[in-house]
Amino acid sequence: MISLPASLATAHREVGRWADDLRQGALELDRDPDAIHRHLDLPAVRFLAGHQVPADWDRESAVPGSGPAHGLATLERVLVSEELARGDAGMMLASPGASMCGVLLGVLGSPEQRAWVHGRLAERPRWTCFALTEPERGSAIGEMTSTLTPVGDGSYVLDGEKRYVGNAARADLGAVFARVAGTERLGVLAVLVDTSDPGFHAEPLPTVGLRGAQLTRVRLDGVRVPAERVLGTHLPPTRRGMWSIVHVFNRLRPSVAAIALGIARAAHDYVGEHRLLLRGPEREAYEELGRRIDAARSLTYRAALAVDRRPSAGQLASAAKARACEVAEEVTLRAPDFFGPGARIDHPLLDKWARDARGVEFMEGTRNIQKLNLFQGLHTGKVGRN
Amino acid sequence: MTVPPEVREHGEQARTSARTDGLVPALTLLVRALSPKVPPRGPRGHAVLPKELLEEFAAEEAATREGARPEAPSSAGATGVDDSGPLPGLAVLRPVPGRTAEAAPPAWGWALAWLRLGMSERLRDACLAHLAARQSEGTSLLMQQMVKGTLADVLLEHLEIEGVLDDLATGRTGPLGPLRPADDDRHLAGLQEQITRVDRALLRLLGAHGFTAEGPGAAAHASELLADAYGVAGPGTAREGA
C-alpha cells in the first residue's frame, strides 16, 4: 500500500463535500430520470461533465481528458466514484460527461479522437454512452454479434443491437463494441459514434433501481463509422482490439466496486444518523456491517492500485467487484431492519438503496463472471501467490 | 489499533512459513520471536505449542529455579500438557489449577491470524493439487463449475483477510484507511471465524480425504484449536467456563 498523494487527498475531500448535494436530488431522479436536467449546476454534476474541477486537480497536461499527474488514475476514479455514489449513485450515473468513454479513450483513443470527444463535451453538458452488452449474448466480448462491415476506405457500417446501455437516449456521443464482419472471436473493435447519425436508435428501458442511469436499448441500422472514429488504429497491432479492451475493463471494474461501496456506505451512514441509540445486538450488527464495508473498501483500493501499477492485473479487481456488490446488497437489505416493519415505505431512501444495489451487480459482469475470472487467475498462478 | 511493526513482520513470516513448511515450523518461528521465555497462553490459560518448544521452556524455567530439575514436558498434572496433540510435534496445554498463566504477548492474536491465513492458503494449495489430480466423467474435478466457484470464493476471502490484516498492521488512517475505529477484540474474533469458515469450505472440497488424520484436515483442526485457545474471552466466560 501507499499513502495517498496530497493532491488526490485534497480533491477527494472536496468531491466528498459535493457529494452531499447529490442526495438532495436522489428521490426526485428516482421518480423521473429526466430530472437530472434540473441539477446540471450542482458542483458534482459539473465536475462529472468536465466543467469544474476540485482544488489540486493535478493533471499530466492541459489537454482535456489528461490523466492525473500522480499516475493513479484508477485509484482516483475509485475514490471519486465511492464518494459520489455515497451521495447518490443514480445522480452520479445520470450526470453528463465522458464517464466510461473517457477511460476507453485513455487507453485506445488517438490524440485527435480525444480532442474530438472532449471538445464536444466542453461546449455544454453532453452525455456519452458505452454500448457493449447485447440482448442474447450479455457482455461476453468473444460472443458479440454486432457487426462492423468494412466499406473499403477504412470506414465501416455498423449494424446490431445493444441492451442495458446507460444514458444512450440522452447521449450525443457513444462508444460501441462490435465485431469486424468475417473475423473470429477476437476481431472486436471499439468505435465512436455520433448518436445523431442516421441509423442510431435508443429507447429507454425502465428499471427497478438506478433509474437515473436510464438504461436503454440501442438499435444500430447501418450507422456509418468514418475511419477516424475507429479506436486503436494508431496503436501497434498487438495493442489494439482485445488486449486494450481487457485493460479498459480492468480499469473500470474497481470503479463499479466503488459505486457499490458508496451505496453500502449511504445505507450504513443513514442507520447511524437516524438510530442514535443503538445498543447490544443491534450495535454489534451495525458495527459488523461497518467492518464488512471497510474490508471491501480495502480490497477495492488494493485492486485499483494493482491495475494502476499493471493494467493487466485485473484479478483483484474481479475480487473487489464481487465482494463490494455482495456487501452492498447485504447492507442495504439489512439497514431497514434497524427501523422495524414498514421501514422501506417510511424511509424511501432505504428502499431506493436496496433497489440500486441490485443494479451494480450487472455492471461489468455479474458476481459469477468475476468469480470465474478469479478462479482463472488462481489456476494460472496470477493471483494468490503472495 | 496499530500492530507493532515487529509483530507484523513476524506475523508475515509466520504466514509464509505456514504456507510453505506447515503449522509446527511456523508456530515455532512465531513463539521464538514473540514469546521466547514463556509459553504464550490464552486468556483462560490454554496453549497450543510445538513440543520442541515446551522442552526449551521447561529447561528455561528449571534454569531460573536454582537446584530444581526440569519438569518433564509431558507430565499432564503439573504443566497441563496433553500429549495427544492434533498434529505430530504439537502439544495442547490446559490451564494449571492454582497457577496464574502468563499472558500471551501483545498482538499475539493478530500474529496468529497471519499464521492461520498462511495455513489456510496451504490448505487451498493442497486442495488445488488434489482436485486437479482427480477425474470425473473425463474432466478434472478442478474444472467443475461449482468447484471453480467455491475456490474463487475462498480466494476472495483470503484476499480480503490479507487486506484487513495489512491495514491493521500499518495502522493506516485517512482516505485509504478504515472508516471507523474498530473494536479490536471483536474484529480479531471475526477474522479468526472468517479463516475457520474458509478452511471448512476447502475441507468440504476435499471430501473424505480432508477427514483423515493423515490428510490436510488435521492441520486445519490444529489451526482451529489455535483460534480457540487464544480467542477472545467473552463477558463471563472466565468465571462460568472455568
| Residues B15-29: tens digit of each pLDDT | 999 999 999 999 999
Q: Dump the DSSP string for A15-48.
A: HHHHHHHHHHTHHHHHH-GGGGGGGTTSHHHHHH
Half-sphere exposure (Cβ direction) of B105: Cα atoms closer than 13 Å:
20
Is B175 near chain A, with CB under 8 Å? yes
Would you place residue B236 in the very low, low, confident or very high pLDDT band (cuts 50, 70, 90)? Answer: low
Q: Please tell me the distance from the alpha carbon of residue A209 to that of residue A216, in angstroms, as a whole number.
A: 14
Answer yes or no: is pLDDT of B242 > 60.
no
Q: Please tell me the distance from the alpha carbon of residue A192 to that of residue A101, in angstroms, as a whole number.
A: 9
In A, minimum Cα distance to B151 occurs at A375
- CATH architecture of the domain B1-242 equals Up-down Bundle (1.20)
Is B76 near chain A, with CB under 8 Å? no
* Cβ atoms of A177 and A189 closer than 8 Å: yes
Q: Please tell me the distance from the alpha carbon of residue A267 to that of residue A353, in angstroms, as a whole number.
A: 7
Is A297 near chain B, with CB under 8 Å? yes
Q: A316 contacts in B (CB within 8 Å)?
A: 159
- Nearest alpha carbon to residue B23 among B104, B108, B90: B90
In A, minimum Cα distance to B153 occurs at A371
Is A265 near chain B, with CB under 8 Å? yes
Mean pLDDT rounded to a whole number for chain A: 94
Is A383 near chain B, with CB under 8 Å? yes
Q: What is the pLDDT of residues A31-70, one digit of tens each?
A: 999 999 999 999 999 999 999 999 989 999 999 899 999 9
Answer yes or no: is pLDDT of B70 > 50.
no
What is the pLDDT at residue B237? Answer: 60
Three-state DSSP class for residue A215: strand
- Nearest alpha carbon to residue A382 among A320, A323, A324, A312: A312
Please report the domains of chain A, with CATH numbers, ordered by start residue: 6-95 (no CATH), 127-236 (2.40.110.10), 242-379 (1.20.140.10)
Percent of chain B with pLDDT over 90: 60
Interacting residues of A271 by C-beta distance below 8 A, sequence separation 6+: A278, A286, A335, A338
Q: What is the pLDDT of residues B145-162, one digit of tens each?
A: 999 999 999 999 999 999
Answer yes or no: is pLDDT of B77 > 60.
no
Would you place residue B67 in the very low, low, confident or very high pLDDT band (cuts 50, 70, 90)? Answer: low
| Size of the A and B interface in Cβ pairs below 8 Å | 95
Q: Tell me whether residues A386 and B121 touch, CB distance under 8 A.
A: yes
Q: Dump the DSSP string for A102-168.
A: HHHHHHH--HHHHHHHHHHHHHS--EEEEE--BTTTBT-GGG---EEEE-SSS-EEEEEEEEEEETG
Q: Which amino acid is at A237?
A: P
Q: Tell me whether residues B160 and A323 touch, CB distance under 8 A.
A: yes
Is A77 near chain B, with CB under 8 Å? no
Is A220 near chain B, with CB under 8 Å? no
Q: What angle do CA B159, B161, B164 make, to 5 degrees?
A: 110
- Grid cell 497462553 is found at B41
Q: Please tell me the distance from the alpha carbon of residue A94 to that of residue A79, in angstroms, as a whole number.
A: 18
Which of B147, B159, B191, B195 to substitute to test the interface with A, most A CBs within 10 Å? B159
Which of A13, A378, A383 to substitute to test the interface with B, most B CBs within 10 Å? A378
Lowest mean pLDDT of A45-54, A185-194, B25-34, B60-69, name the range: B60-69
The mean per-residue pLDDT over the stretch A284-312 comes to 95
Maximum average pLDDT range among A47-51, A364-368, B101-105: A47-51
